[in-house]
């Protein structure tokens, strides 16, 4: 059963990822990205990360991709990009070679270290007493217990990001230079 889930979700992930790279229309690329994100969410569920699967769908597929689509529509850049125009002749073969080399190197490392990575503790579903909401409780205990400072700092980070974006994307008034502070 888990094999079936893995194969289907893996096909979704890889198909969507190839779609992002290959589709010339930005909107199509964004929709392919949604397919990939849903596949990753399914794989999260298959690995007992239920909370992260929900966050993946809500934050990534819900918020980030919608933000992408907003920007595409807002700027009117939803034109097909001509992939045949290539300023640097060597770039594409080099990119493919680097990609294949990366996959083979990481794959070799993963397969070579397969025997050495051992299960050091009980699986996650055994740690939690109640399997229904055990994962959420475990993450909450970890985030709000051990990493509470990092959690608070992410709120600072988000505020800085929002303020910075408002300043960056704001339309300057006539006769005003961006960044002049007046």
Partner 1 sequence: MIAFTLPQPTPTWYLLLAAVLFAIGVVGVMVRRNPLVLFMCVELMLNAVNLSFVAFARQMGDVGGQSTVFFVMVVAAAEVVVGLGVVVAILRRRPTATTDDMTELKG
Rounded CA separation 8/43 (Å): 10
CB-side neighbour CA atoms (13 Å) of 28:
11
C-alpha 149, offset from chain centre: 24
Nearer to partner 1 by C-beta: 116 or 182? 116
State the minimum distance, in angstroms, from the CB of residue 182 to partner 1.
18
State the minimum distance, in angstroms, from the CB of residue 134 to partner 1.
10
Nearer to partner 1 by C-beta: 59 or 133? 59
Nearer to partner 1 by C-beta: 71 or 131? 71
Rounded CA separation 71/121 (Å): 45
Q: Give me 11's structure tokens.
A: 């096909």
Torsions phi, psi for 112 (to 5 deg) = -70, -35
State the minimum distance, in angstroms, from the CB of residue 158 to partner 1.
6
Task: Give how far Cα 1 sits from Cα of 7, 37, 123, 179, Å.
Answer: 10, 21, 19, 57
State the minimum distance, in angstroms, from the CB of residue 133 to partner 1.
13
Element (H, E) at 45: helix 26-46
State the minimum distance, in angstroms, from the CB of residue 112 to partner 1.
11
């Amino acid at each position: 059963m888990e094999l079936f889930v893995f194969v289907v979700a893996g096909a979704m992930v890889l198909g969507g990822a190839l779609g992002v790279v290959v589709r010339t229309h930005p909107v199509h690329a964004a929709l392919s990205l949604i397919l990939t994100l849903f596949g990753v969410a399914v794989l999260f569920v298959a690995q007992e990360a239920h909370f992260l699967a929900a966050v993946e769908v809500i934050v990534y597929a819900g918020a980030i991709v919608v933000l992408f689509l907003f920007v595409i529509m807002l700027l009117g850049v939803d034109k097909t990009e001509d992939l045949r125009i290539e300023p640097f002749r060597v770039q594409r073969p080099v990119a493919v070679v680097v990609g294949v080399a990366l996959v083979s190197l990481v794959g070799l490392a993963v397969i070579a270290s397969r025997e050495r990575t051992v299960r050091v503790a009980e699986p996650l579903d055994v740690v939690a007493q109640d399997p229904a909401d055990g994962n959420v409780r475990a993450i909450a205990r970890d985030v709000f217990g051990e990493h509470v400072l990092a959690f608070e700092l992410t709120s600072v980070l988000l505020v800085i990001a929002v303020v910075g974006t408002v300043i960056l994307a704001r339309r300057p008034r006539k006769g005003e230079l961006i960044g002049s502070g007046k």
